[in-house]
């Protein structure tokens, strides 16, 4: 997938690459003219009574060579290396899009720090490979080829062959080192991911760390990860550091050989001093590209390692199947659940077992049960966060799987247990960055969720910028802002997943009263730990170990004297019955 993106990008920008490579070839050719002009100038200067005008002409040529090299290099670096930045942006957008499409199951097995490493380090390594590294490699190869040709023309092929005999050894050594660098770079990326994850966890959980006085312990743990990253980097650097000195050593041998043999040829008159100077100039020109090619191979190996890591992400298929063709949530519907059973991947026990339920349109369903009884799982399946077998959930006259995911989820307003707020203004959090909602809509939603007064007490009201995850407001306020976000959408089905747990009972009662007013003829599902949140529901189901153990209205369930009655007595009378557990 990653390779396809890169190939597609290059096809889309082929004219820029073609023009850039043409400028690159022209730049390489112009650079190789300098030794010839310099050698010619030396031959002019060594003759008695030389013509100054001839020297001035060569000086003009040298200045033109410098100017031509500048212009061409400027052009190809902008066209080729500049496109590398565009490729980086495209890869990051594609990766982010892939993150959005992947199912929740994927994120339950991946750490945040590791995913951040993909989006930063790996994409940057790929950009360097297909931008600067590729350009320098092409430029270096062209310069070397032209220089070697001119060396043969200047003296002869035998002398050139002996002068360049270390190059095959250098090439073999570069590829050998490159393979080792590729392996060790993977370890560098893993240690970077571990550090990113540790930093992310510590910043997110800083209040818990301080509350338990674990600052020093966390610093120690971070130091260990930091030392591992240093060691991984040094392990890679120790290998890659051999390249440049080894190349310079080999070329030193070439220069020594050239001075001995070439100097004798000058003394014998076999070649002119200018030819000898030009030959050494070409050898010097070759040195820089060969050293850069060594670095380029290292960069390319790192880039290929990163591209392999990115392909692992790009090749992950979303577990939740799209499949459906219905593009709108129905206006008239009821929700029917038929003998629904579900197990999480790799779980031995069923999270839900044989759930059958009818939720008429406009009804309020209360769902209560102990922790781990399957309350949130049921809602996740309604939203198709996990795959559901056909015939198990029907909305209106259509199977859940017949809906497009966007159409299905657009019919729901969901307030999860972990109320996530963005680092933006309160108004933007309620709008969810949609411009279609007016300021009046925002205020109305805040009033219905009983958070309007709290917002107006803040220094900047609705324009107050929230910290990361809404850390600068209370838990109850975060819950109510999240409820406002769902209410402004005016969804067909509103789901509150334990979304009133952080508010006091008076505020809870006010919110529920408002919901009954604004949610007429629309379906509401209230998952709660407190019975007070579901007492007024049209129907209440009690989940126990993934099964519906009781169902009915509040009064009917109290009369049954089961688990619901036990929870009620515990919460309202304070009398804990034997074996009873509070939610």
Could you read off the pLDDT of 10-43 as tens digits, one per residue?
888 888 888 988 998 898 888 888 888 887 787 7
Position 576 scores a pLDDT of 46
Q: Are 417 and 376 in contact (CB under 8 A)?
A: yes
Under the banding of pLDDT at 50, 70 and 90, the label for residue 524 is very high
Token code pair at residue 158: 């035998």
Q: What is the CATH number of domain 321-411+492-583?
A: 3.40.50.300
- Stretch 398-418: mean pLDDT: 88
CATH of 415-490, one of 2.40.40.20, 3.20.20.70, 3.40.50.300, 3.40.109.10: 3.40.50.300
Cross-sheet strand order for the sheet of 364-369: 412-415, 493-497, 523-528, 364-369, 539-544, 547-552
CA distances from 560 to 55, 69, 212, 572 (A): 111, 91, 45, 17
pLDDT tens for each residue of 291-346: 777 678 778 877 888 888 888 888 888 888 776 788 888 888 899 999 999 988 77
Please report the pLDDT score of residue 50 as a whole number.
67
Q: Confirm whether 2-314 and 321-411+492-583 share one CATH topology.
A: no
CB atoms within 10 A of CB 171: 14
Q: Buried b vs exposed e over 269-293: b needs ≥16 C-beta within 10 Å?
A: eebbebbbbbbbbbbebbbebbbbb
pLDDT > 70: what percent of the chain?
95
Q: Decide: pTM greater than 0.75.
A: no
The DSSP string of 414-444 is: EE-SS----SSBHHHHHHTT-TTS-HHHHHH
pLDDT value, residue 43: 73
Q: Is 448 left (phi over 0), alpha (psi -120 to 50) or beta?
A: alpha
Mean pLDDT score of the chain: 83
- Model pLDDT for residues 66-124, shown as the tens digit of each residue: 899 899 989 988 888 888 888 888 888 888 888 888 887 787 777 777 788 788 888 88
Q: Say whether pLDDT at 230 is over 60.
A: yes
- The domain spans of the chain are 2-314, 321-411+492-583, 415-490
Categorize the per-residue pLDDT at 48 as very low, low, confident or very high, splitting at 50, 70 and 90: low
pLDDT score recorded for residue 360 = 92
Q: State the Cα–Cα distance between residues 567 and 370, nearest whole angstrom.
A: 9
Which residue has tokens 């107006």? 456
Q: At residue 251, does pLDDT exceed 90? A: no
Span 2-314: which CATH code?
Answer: 1.20.1560.10
pLDDT (0 to 100) of residue 549: 92
Q: Can you spell out the DSSP letters for 113-131?
A: HHHHHIIIIIHHHHHHIII
- Find the mean pLDDT for residues 207-220: 79
Q: What is the pLDDT of residues 465-491, one digit of tens each?
A: 887 666 778 888 888 999 999 999 889
What tokens were used for 344?
A: 């999480």
The Cα-based distances of 44 to 35, 54, 55, 270 in angstroms read 14, 8, 7, 17
Answer yes or no: is pLDDT of 542 > 90.
yes
If one counts every other C-beta atom within 10 angstroms of the C-beta of residue 250, the result is 18
Angle at 236 between CA 231 and CA 240, to 5 degrees: 145
Which range has the top average pLDDT, 259-263, 337-341, 499-503? 337-341
Beta-bridge partners for 265:
none
pLDDT bracket for residue 356 (50, 70, 90): very high
Beta bridge mates, 334: 360
The arithmetic mean of pLDDT across residues 254-260, rounded, is 77
Helix 33-46 to helix 14-31 angle (10° resolution) is 20
- CB neighbours (10 Å) of residue 579? 6
Predicted confidence (pLDDT) per residue in 269-298, tens digit? 777 788 778 877 887 787 777 777 767 877
Q: How confident is the model at residue 582 (pLDDT cuts 50, 70, 90)?
A: very low
pLDDT band at 443 (very low <50, low <70, confident <90, very high): very high
């Amino acid at each position: 997938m990653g390779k396809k993106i890169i190939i597609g990008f290059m096809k889309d920008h082929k004219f820029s690459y073609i023009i850039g490579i043409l400028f690159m070839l022209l730049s390489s050719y112009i650079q190789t003219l300098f030794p010839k002009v310099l050698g010619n100038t030396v031959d002019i200067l060594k003759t008695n009574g030389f013509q100054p005008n001839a020297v001035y002409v060569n000086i003009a040529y040298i200045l033109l060579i410098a100017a031509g090299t500048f212009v061409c290099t400027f052009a190809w670096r902008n066209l080729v290396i500049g496109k590398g930045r565009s490729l980086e942006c495209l890869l990051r957008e594609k990766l982010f899009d892939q993150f959005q499409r992947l199912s929740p199951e994927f994120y339950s097995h991946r750490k945040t720090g590791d995913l951040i490493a993909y989006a930063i380090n790996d994409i940057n390594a790929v950009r360097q490979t297909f931008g600067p590294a590729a350009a320098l490699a092409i430029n270096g190869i062209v310069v070397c080829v032209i220089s070697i040709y001119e060396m043969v023309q200047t003296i002869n092929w035998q002398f050139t062959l002996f002068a360049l005999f270390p190059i095959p050894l250098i090439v073999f050594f570069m590829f050998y080192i490159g393979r080792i660098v590729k392996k060790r770079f993977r370890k560098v990326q893993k240690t970077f991911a571990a550090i990113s994850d540790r930093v992310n966890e510590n910043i997110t959980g800083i209040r818990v760390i301080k509350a338990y006085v674990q600052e020093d312990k966390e610093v120690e743990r971070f130091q260990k990860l930091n030392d591992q990253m240093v060691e991984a980097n040094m392990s890679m650097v120790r290998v890659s550091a051999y390249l440049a000195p080894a190349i310079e050593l080999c070329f030193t041998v070439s220069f020594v050989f050239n001075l001995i043999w070439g100097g004798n040829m000058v003394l014998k008159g076999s070649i002119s001093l200018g030819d000898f100077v030009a030959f050494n100039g070409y050898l010097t020109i070759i040195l820089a590209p060969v050293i850069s090619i060594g670095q380029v191979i290292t960069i390319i190996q790192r880039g290929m390692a990163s591209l392999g890591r990115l392909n692992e992400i790009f090749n992950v298929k979303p577990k939740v199947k799209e499949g459906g063709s219905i593009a709108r949530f129905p206006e008239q519907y009821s929700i029917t659940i038929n003998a629904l059973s579900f197990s999480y991947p790799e779980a031995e026990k069923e999270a839900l077992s044989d759930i059958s339920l009818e939720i008429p349109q406009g009804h309020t369903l209360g769902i209560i049960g102990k922790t781990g009884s399957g309350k949130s799982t049921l809602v996740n399946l309604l939203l198709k966060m996990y795959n559901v077998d056909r015939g198990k959930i029907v909305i209106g006259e259509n199977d859940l799987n017949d809906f497009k995911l966007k159409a299905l989820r657009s019919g729901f307003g969901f307030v999860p247990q972990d109320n996530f707020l963005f680092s933006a203004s309160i108004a933007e959090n309620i709008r969810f960055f949609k411009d279609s909602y007016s300021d009046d809509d925002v205020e109305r939603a805040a009033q219905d969720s009983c958070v309007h007064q709290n917002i107006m007490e803040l220094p900047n009201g609705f324009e107050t910028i929230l910290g990361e995850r809404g850390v600068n407001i209370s838990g109850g306020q975060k819950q109510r802002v999240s409820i406002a976000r769902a209410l402004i959408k005016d969804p067909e089905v509103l789901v509150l997943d334990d979304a009133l747990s952080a508010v006091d009972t008076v505020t809870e009662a006010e919110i529920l009263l408002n919901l009954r007013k604004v949610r007429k003829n629309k379906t509401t599902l209230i998952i709660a730990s407190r019975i007070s949140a579901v007492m007024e529901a049209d129907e209440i189901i009690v989940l126990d170990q993934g099964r519906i153990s009781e169902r009915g209205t509040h009064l009917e369930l109290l009369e049954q004297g089961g688990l619901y009655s036990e929870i009620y007595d515990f919460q309202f009378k304070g009398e804990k019955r034997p074996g009873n557990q509070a939610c």
